[in-house]
Amino acid sequence: MEILNKLRNLDAYPKINEDFYSRTLSGGLITIVSSITILLLFISELRLYLYAATETKLTVDTARGETLRVNFDVTFPHLACSILSIDAMDISGEQHYDIRHDIMKRRLDHLGNVIESRSDGIGGPKIDRPLQRHGGRLDHNETYCGSCYGAEMSDDECCNSCEEVREAYRKKGWALTNPEMIDQCKREGFIEKVKEEAGEGCNMEGFLEVNKVAGSFHFAPAKSFYQSNIHLFDLMAFQTENSNISHRINKLSFGQKFPGVVNPLDGVEWTQQTSSGMYQYFIKVVPTIYKDIRGRKINSNQFSVTEHFRSADGFTQSLPGVFFFYDFSPIKVSFTEENVSLLHFMTNICAIVGGKARVTYPFALAFKLNSMANIYCRKEFLRPV
């Protein structure tokens, strides 16, 4: 009975019966339910006021001469870091081979544990005393200059490391398929280093700065070069077996991160089940501008993607690797954060609080209004003339 009496006392709108108030159990229960409802509505309105709403607008992208940052973090569990390289090119004719700057390589064991992290490229450091170009005896004043084995662009050019020989061959459009015949590579232990890393994996993380035009970049187990406008690789003699290009894309994004962005390739993993080939990602990049509530503008991009595997069987020009082909949408998306005005927030709060009596207690409110009207009319009727 005490609990019931307490509930009756919670009745915020007791019914007026002549000279006394009549509190009911149903009125107390309705008061509790309506109070909880009002509290939830108040919290909802407060959240809408504190958290900005995002407005979306589509416009034509008229930007020109911009560059694009491609952020990537890709793991190859069956390709060693000593043979893995990344190249980039676009339709404007700009080409970059064996990119090394702003890229970190991590050697991985068969369990995926990091063995070593390094930012250098394939091959070892320059040897202290490179070969003399033409052999013979050396005088005290004679400088050392390693031979480029026919790939010199001029008589004064020297190749003092295995990498410099490979680079000279690439510029000539030649493939260095047998480093065991190159003295610089033998002195640096290039072949032994590659064979030592056999069975390891590699993680490549970094970013590329590319022109904002259609183009591509790819990861491949060899160095690229062009010969007669054909894209080729200098696969070594010990790489003739099928290259396993199984990979996991830990992160791939175009531009800065902004609130709500979803990169569809993050966490995507592909395992090679057949013979070697090209795994291709065709990406459509959508320029995006995000402007937060403080007025800070973030120029970034969203993208969609489709995938395709092209087996090397029957294609003489099918090169092993993971290729990303990207193109840009002519439509730009703009996201703008906007807050609800204070006046709108206060109006909604007043409507919630003031609407409690009208919605929850229509009969009590009507009774009150009727009583007030009767008193007013009685006074007017009895007023002396």
Q: Find residue 185's DSSP bridge partners.
A: none
225-243: string of b/e by CB count within 10 Å (b at 16+)? beeeeeebbbbbeebeeeb
CA–CA gap between residue 197 and residue 220 (Å, rounded): 16
pLDDT tens, position by position, 80-112: 887 888 989 999 888 887 788 889 999 898 888
Over the Cα atoms of the chain, what is R_g? 37
pLDDT at position 286:
95
3-state SS assignment for residue 44: helix
Q: 287 Cβ partners below 8 Å, 6+ apart?
A: 61, 63, 299, 301, 328, 329, 332, 333
**286 falls within a domain:** yes
**Domain check: are 316 and 258 in the same one?**
yes
pLDDT tens, position by position, 146-183: 788 777 877 778 888 777 887 787 777 676 666 777 77
pLDDT at position 228:
47
pTM: 0.66
**150 falls within a domain:** no
Q: In which region does residue 3 sit, left (phi positive, over 0), alpha (psi from -120 to 50) or beta (all else)?
A: alpha
Q: In which domain, by residue range, is 326 found? A: 59-124+202-337
**Domain check: are 46 and 119 in the same one?**
no
Other Cβ atoms closer than 10 A to 97: 16
**CA nearest neighbour of 70 among 268, 258, 178, 216:** 216
Contact in structure between 70 and 254 (CB atoms under 8 Å) = yes
pLDDT tens, position by position, 120-133: 544 444 444 444 44
**193 falls within a domain:** no
**Domain check: are 378 and 235 in the same one?**
no
**278 falls within a domain:** yes
DSSP string covering 202-258, please? EEEEEEEEEESSSEEEEEESS-EEEETTEEEE---GGG-SPP---EEEEEEEEB---
Q: Report how many domains make up the chain.
A: 2
Structure-token pair, residue 288: 């995006």
**376 falls within a domain:** yes
Structure-token pair, residue 374: 């009767």
Number of residues assigned to the chain: 385
At residue 293, φ and ψ (nearest 5 deg) are -70, -25
Burial class (CB in 10 A: 0-12, 13-18, 19+), 215: buried
**Domain check: are 117 and 37 in the same one?**
no
Distances (CA, A) of 279 to 200, 233, 272: 20, 16, 9
**Domain check: are 302 and 361 in the same one?**
no
**Domain check: are 333 and 365 in the same one?**
no
CA–CA gap between residue 105 and residue 205 (Å, rounded): 7
**Domain check: are 333 and 281 in the same one?**
yes
**Domain check: are 237 and 111 in the same one?**
yes
**Domain check: are 222 and 296 in the same one?**
yes
Q: Which residue has the higher pLDDT, 212 or 120?
A: 212
**195 falls within a domain:** no
Mean pLDDT taken over the chain:
76
Tell whether the model's pLDDT for residue 378 goes beyond 80.
Answer: no
The strand pair at 215-220 and 321-328 is best described as antiparallel
**CA nearest neighbour of 97 among 83, 87, 107:** 87
pLDDT at position 265:
95
Which range, 12-16, 21-25, 210-214, 348-352, is most confident? 210-214
**Domain check: are 377 and 248 in the same one?**
no
**Domain check: are 88 and 206 in the same one?**
yes
CA–CA gap between residue 61 and residue 299 (Å, rounded): 12
pLDDT tens, position by position, 50-78: 776 788 899 999 888 888 999 999 999 98
pLDDT at position 77:
92
**163 falls within a domain:** no
Mean pLDDT of 2-9: 75
**Domain check: are 116 and 263 in the same one?**
yes
DSSP string covering 132-197, please? PSS-S---TTPPP----TT--SSTT----SHHHHHHHHHHHT-----GGG-HHHHHHTHHHHHHHT
CA–CA gap between residue 290 and residue 255 (Å, rounded): 12
**333 falls within a domain:** yes
